[in-house]
Amino acid sequence: MSTQTEVLILGAGGAGMMCAIQAGKRGRKVILLDHARKVGGKILISGGGRCNFTNLGASPNQYVSNNPHFAKSALARFTPQDFIDLVNDHGIAYHEKKLGQQFCDGSAQQIVDLLMDECKSANAEFRLETRVNLIEPLSPERAPLRFKVFTSSGEFECESLVVATGGLSIPKIGATGFGYEVAKQFGLSLVDRAAALDGFVLNREDEIRFQGLAGLSFDSTIEVRGKIFREAILFTHAGLSGPATLQASLHWYPGDAVKVDLLPGLEVFEWFLQKKKSGNKSIVKNLLSELLPARLAERFCELHFPDPRPLPDVSEKELKSFCGVLKAWTFIPKETVGYSKAEVTRGGVDTQELSSKTLETKKVPGLYFIGEVVDVTGWLGGYNFQWAWASGAAAGAVV
């Protein structure tokens, strides 16, 4: 015997649960399936355990997609304030860390509890530790039922099937490419996937040049393909991490150069000239250590200014050329670290296949894709959860 339900949601992450809440509140019978033992695994590990659950400035401009307009409709209809209202209703204390980013004061578990409570009020049921084996479209005579789903917990028949299985990052907590396989099964096109919001692995030469700097962090502006972010960069054993690197990785494709200004907001050539004019006799490395972490200053001098001399012995031409390197350190990363560390997957189900209003597929009535599985990927800073909530709410209003 199959269990019949109006709405079957595959994946009980942020997007799936928000969809369940909205649909359940409309009186729809909803079941959520997930192969994990607990729901919301990614929420729990997000934001360093405090969940950066939205960003006050979220707008379509902070999302990468083949169709930059696609996210507009859903984002406009479920706003950061809508989620904050829920957070307030549940008495969860939160704060803005920086740049509009909203974090729980306590723990990310509070956001999972909020979603679970809301699902419960909406009478949505969960079937956890459930593996999906097969999805079959039902014949039109079975209308309004449209899909049969064979799982390790039995068979389900539903009117609306919502795929909310997320992207590929962090397989060890249950991420799979399942949603992409469903898209292929129904003949939907996919945009190439890549690990994003991720660190860079340096190429072999740069790895040797910068070895021994792991743990060192500095303020920067970073530029890839004309996108510029000002945040911190962190040297790691493999290469670079830190928020600026993660942001840059979202726009990076293999072979692209990355340009870093190590001293954002400072005309460093003018700064050195002033020192020179005022009779400063320090050697360049020591002066640069006033502006950058000492080991980093030392390394850049070894690489680009190897002859340590006091400032009066350094020509303006030499200084200008060295400052050029500091303001535009350019390198080509070997790769990103990969899905074991990346926060998201760029690419996914092609938005051309979906209605931007409802997230329903145009080719297969009753089949929906929401959340990270779709080719809409946000910047670091709460934007990806905002997309999960907004796309989940958009589908939840119609399924």
Binding site for ligand FAD (CB under 6 A): 10-16, 33-36, 41-42, 45-47, 51-52, 132, 164-166, 169-170, 174-176, 178, 343-344, 371-372, 382-385, 388
d(CA 371, CA 399): 15
Q: Which residue is nearest to ligand FAD (CB)?
A: 13
Least CB distance to ligand FAD at residue 39 (A): 6
Coil, strand or helix at 41: helix
| Beta carbon nearer to ligand FAD, 371 or 396 | 371
* Closer residue to ligand FAD (CB): 45 or 314: 45
Q: Pick between residue 197 and residue 311 the one whose CB is nearest to ligand FAD.
A: 197
Sign of torsion over alpha carbons 294, 299, 304, 310: positive
Cβ proximity to ligand FAD, 250 vs 260, nearer residue: 250
Q: What is the bridge-based pairing of β-strands 217-224 and 200-201?
A: unpaired
Residue 20 C-beta: closest distance to ligand FAD, Å: 11
C-alpha of 394 from chain center: 20
Q: How far apart are CA 226 and CA 246, in angstroms?
A: 15
- Which residue has 């899905």 as its token pair? 339
Task: Using the minimum distance from each CB to ligand FAD, give the nearer residue, 382 or 396.
Answer: 382
Q: How far is CA 147 from the centre of its chain?
A: 31
Q: Which residues of 298-327 are buried (b: 16+ CB within 10 A; e: fewer)?
A: bbbbeeebeeeeebeebeeeebeebbeebb
- Residue 15 C-beta: closest distance to ligand FAD, Å: 3
Q: How far is the CB of 51 from ligand FAD (least distance, A)?
A: 6
Cβ of residue 255: shortest distance to ligand FAD, in angstroms?
A: 25
C-beta of 50 vs 146, nearer to ligand FAD = 50
Classified as helix, coil or strand, 139 is: coil
Q: By the 8 A CB rule, do 41 and 174 touch?
A: yes
Q: How far is the CB of 390 from ligand FAD (least distance, A)?
A: 11
Closer CB to ligand FAD, 112 or 268, in the complex: 112
Task: Tokens for 219, please give them.
Answer: 């303020």
Whether omega for the bond prior to residue 306 falls within 30 degrees of 0, making it cis, is no
- Closest approach, Cβ 179 to ligand FAD, in A, equals 7
Query: 305 or 385: whose CB is closer to ligand FAD?
Result: 385
CA torsion 276-282-286-290 (nearest 10°) is -50
**In angstroms, rounded to a whole number, what is the distance separating the alpha carbons of residues 218 and 220?**
6
Q: Shortest Cβ distance from residue 34 to ligand FAD (Å)?
A: 4
